[in-house]
Structure 1
Amino acid sequence: MDPHGRIDVKWDVMSWTPDGYVAVVTMTNMQTYRHIESPGWTLGWKWAKKEVIWSVLGAQASDQGDCSSFKENLPHSCKKNPSIIDLLPNAPFNQQFSQCCKGGVLASQGQDPAAAVSSFQISIGRSGTSKKTISLPQDFYLLGSGPGYTCTAAAVVSPSAFYLGDGRRRSQALMTWSLTCSYSQTIVSKNPSCCVSMSSFYSTQITPCPSCSCGCQQGQANCVKKEDHKISSLVEKSKAERKMVQCTEHMCPIKVHWHVKNNYKTHWRVKLTVTNFRYRTNYTKWTLAVHHPSLRSLANVSSFLYKPLMVYGASSKVSTFFWALQLTKFHD
């Protein structure tokens, strides 16, 4: 279990405007090995009053909403419950902001802390113009390339501090509030998302993934046979097509195979194989967490990068998570 399994969201009010404020919103993925893949994160909330979004740098609202009450200078979004998404890497320079424009992809804290942060600047109107009159947004939600996250209510905290220029001058936000979003696999699905099969050099038998490990086949309603002609027709990447998996006994989108290659007095060697059974989903920045007592004496890893994990509440146990080298991508 990951004791830091959360995504922190922080709003820093940097300046007041005639009808509202300008804020910098920062999301930090504190999860050790869970990242957010393409199509990326979506952050949404409900306004407490009749606020509008005048402009956004480093992100955009997915829906402008009904701005017909404005005669000129239309807001960026008039939605009561706006949804914000990240910009793509090729966004125009004048629309970018620091730590933005990664298509919503967030690396895990254990894999790449520098890439585990995303931020954008947002200008709000029809809002309070002081700490006493401002109202915090409500009902926050986070989609991390899909459901699974539950967010707390926003709460006012001590203003964030910043060091400018040469680092000798300290400034701070006018007001700061924060919230956290935690992931739960049970929200996404009652079934697991992967299974493990095993084999060894001293036996020709393979211990396969149990049947229906990740659910059972329902005819061909929830899977496609490997030789099926429908595979070539899956062009548009709709949500349903991204989840389309190959028909197997285990019905898991991901299978991990653990093969013991040899066993000597001083060491033993294992080959790990990760197979993607989804037809329209790539796992470019995949991670694999493994728990085994012998990982305490891990001597060498090839093809993968790795890092030991501190298992919460179980110091006697050893876990490690692996991820792909830059050129070792996990394709469909």
Structure 2
Amino acid sequence: MRLVISAVCVVVLFSYAAAYDPLDPNGNITIKWDVVSWTPDGYVAVVTMSNFQMFRHIMNPGWSLGWTWAKKEVIWSMVGAQTTEQGDCSKFKGNVPHCCKKTPTVVDLLPGVPYNQQFSNCCKGGVVAAWGQDPSSAVSSFQVSVGLAGTSNKTVKLPKNFTLLGPGPGYTCGPAKVVPSTVFLTPDKRRKTQAQMTWNVTCTYSQFLARKNPSCCVSLSSFYNETITPCPSCACGCQNKRNCVKSDSKRINMVGIHTPKRDNEPLLQCTHHMCPIRVHWHVKLNYKDYWRVKIAVTNFNYRMNYSLWTLAVQHPNLNNVTQVFSFHYKPLLPYESINDTGMFYGMKYFNDLLMEAGPTGNVQSEILLQKDKDTFTFKQGWAFPRKVYFNGEECMLPPPDTYPILPNSAHVNLFNFAAFIFTTMLVMLAIW
């Protein structure tokens, strides 16, 4: 009996840990359901989905939200979204509901729908930005008219078994809970109105539940060692090895080869790591009071463009970032006393779209960091990141014993001197 209880405790703790992200401890997607008015057989509600995750956004093909009705409810109409199936509405004559399924699935509308089908924060194809990147775009909402549902707080029953896919598995949603009614401001901001009833659903993400293998990896190099530490072999699993494409293959130019499939199955360039994304961290230069890092992100998936991409990095010296070139940068403070995590993302209309695999399938930037004289060192791999996330997915780092090794002090000084001479020559040539 004790063995069974222990096993259950381990499973529960492991599941909880899998959904907990130490770099984003409060990250979740909250679904708020506001009943704004009653109808003869039900109510009209505004459903708002807020992505409070700091560096994980919902990308194409967007979110889908499902639940199970508590009674025999139907959806009479929707604005700003639609269900994927109507279900069996044969018992209705004349005025037919939008959806009669016991377990409806709702998706966002695409941009460009007629104005009378739009609702605030809708119609983005289900794409929702990360809260840390753009709070104004981290919200999606729609309006739903529910029938056969009860017409008061006492007779309405909360839906159950909420599911959120965005755009794949990984999210687990808790039960709906009644909360204090939302207070709204009228458009002219001169009057307040209050929802008749409000309930919330909280959904958290687990990379463990989403996939067996990582979806990105990290390689390392430095100015003080000629050795490049590559991504680990089969870092993202080698199940796609048989269908991978060599970079010089004629298959790349075939019509339709770059079109995404419905199941998001990747078409990867043949590599030893077989990851869709590789992040390369290069320790580039060492100055007296500063040091410089180059970051390059490469896409090896021929079927995927990454829009609104994010890169989160944990490193102790990120508390002294002086300048970031060609990327946006935002410090992340998972804990008040620790400032060792930051998020990088692209500049709009410049490099916010990471193109599919090929010559243009990469983005890169450089970071200038001020040295913390009490902790700064190039020894024992200190200059390399502790954790790296791409689009909220943790990337596999190489084993620490394979990191580029720091030579003896004479060699370091020689490398520093050579780097200084090279930089000086470039500056002189530019001025000349």
Q: TM-score, normalised by structure 1?
A: 0.95
Shift of 1:135: 1.1
User: Match of 1:295, SS?
Assistant: helix
Deviates more, 1:158-167 or 1:231-240: 231-240
Match of 2:159 in 1: 137
Shift of 1:240: 4.3
Query: How far off is 1:174 after superposition?
Result: 0.5
Look up the equivalent residue of 2:354 and give its one-letter code: F
State how far apart, in whole Å, the 2-side matches of 1:240 and 1:174 are.
Answer: 40
Distance across 1 between alignment mates of 2:178 and 2:264: 41
* Aligned residue in 1 for 2:186: 164
d(CA) in 1 for partners of 2:248 and 2:87?
A: 45
TM-score normalised by L of structure 2: 0.73
Distance 1:64 1:86 in 2: 16
2:331/2:339 contact within 8 Å kept:
no
Aligned ranges for residues 45-56 of structure 1 at < 5 Å?
A: 45-56=67-78
- State how 1:1-332 maps to structure 2 within 5 Å: 1=22, 2-217=24-239, 219-221=241-243, 223-231=244-252, 232=254, 233-234=256-257, 236-240=259-263, 242-312=265-335, 315-316=337-338, 318-326=340-348, 327-328=350-351, 329-332=353-356
What letter matches 1:210 in structure 2?
A: P
Contact 1:164 1:171 in 2 (8 A): yes
| Structure 2 CA distance for aligned equivalents of residues 230 and 166 of structure 1 | 57
2:170/2:210 contact within 8 Å kept: yes
Q: Deviations over 1:39-76 (max 9, x none)?
A: 11111101111111111001111111121221212111
After superposition, the C-alpha distances for 1:172-210 in whole angstroms (9 at most, x for unaligned) are 000111110000000111211211101122333211011
Secondary structure of the 1:206 match is: strand
Partner SS for 1:237 = coil
Contact 1:60 1:84 in 2 (8 A): yes
**Which whole-Å CA distance do the structure 2 matches of 1:153 and 1:132 have between them?**
18
Q: Secondary structure at the match of 1:220?
A: helix
Structure 2 portions without partners, runs of 5+? 1-21, 357-432
Which structure carries more strand by proportion? 1
Q: Distance in 2 between matches of 1:128 and 1:179?
A: 20
Deviation string, structure 1 residues 68-115 (Cα, Å, up to 9, x no partner): 221212111111111111111101100000111111111111110000
d(CA) in 1 for partners of 2:73, 2:326: 51
SS at match of 1:171: strand
Confirm or deny: 8 A CA contact 2:217 2:278 kept in the other structure. Answer: yes
Q: Distance in 1 between matches of 2:188 and 2:279?
A: 49
**Measured at CA, do residues 218 and 21 of structure 1 come closer, stay the same or move farther in structure 2, by a change above 3 Å?**
closer
Separation of aligned partners in 2, 1:213 and 1:118: 34
Deviations 1:262-295 (CA, angstroms, capped at 9, x unpaired): 1111111111000111111111110000111111
Change (3 A) 1:133 1:29: same
More divergent stretch after superposition (143-152 vs 66-75): 66-75
Is the 1:46–1:139 contact (alpha carbons within 8 Å) kept by the matching residues of 2?
yes
AA matched with 1:330: L
- Distance (whole Å) between structure 2 residues aligned to residue 241 and residue 224 of structure 1: 17
Q: Secondary structure at the match of 2:54?
A: coil
| Aligned residue in 1 for 2:426 | none
Contact 1:224 1:247 in 2 (8 A): yes
Between the two proteins, the alignment pairs up a number of residues equal to 330
Measure the CA separation in 1 of the matches of 2:159 and 2:220.
50
SS at match of 2:325: coil
d(CA) in 1 for partners of 2:310, 2:240: 29
Letter in 1 for 2:172: T
For 1:115 and 1:203, how far apart are their aligned partners in 2? 43
How much is the aligned-residue C-alpha RMSD, in angstroms?
A: 1.6
Secondary structure in 1 aligned to 2:242?
coil
Deviates more, 1:212-221 or 1:140-149: 212-221
Bigger radius of gyration among the two: 2
| 1:133-154 residue CA offsets vs partner (Å, 9 max, x unmatched) | 1111110000111111000010
| Aligned equivalents of 1:297, 1:158: Cα separation in 2 | 42
Q: Could you tell which deviates more after superposition, 315-324 or 284-293?
A: 315-324
> Secondary structure at the residue paired with 1:114?
helix
TM-fit CA distance, 1:218: 5.8
The separation in 1 between residues aligned to 2:291 and 2:340, in whole angstroms, is 17
Q: CA deviation at 1:167?
A: 3.0
Structure 1 window deviating more from structure 2 (188-197 vs 171-180): it is: 188-197
Gaps of 5+ in 1: none
**Alpha-carbon shift at residue 217 of structure 1 (Å):** 4.6
In 2, the alpha carbon distance for the partners of 1:40 and 1:254 equals 20
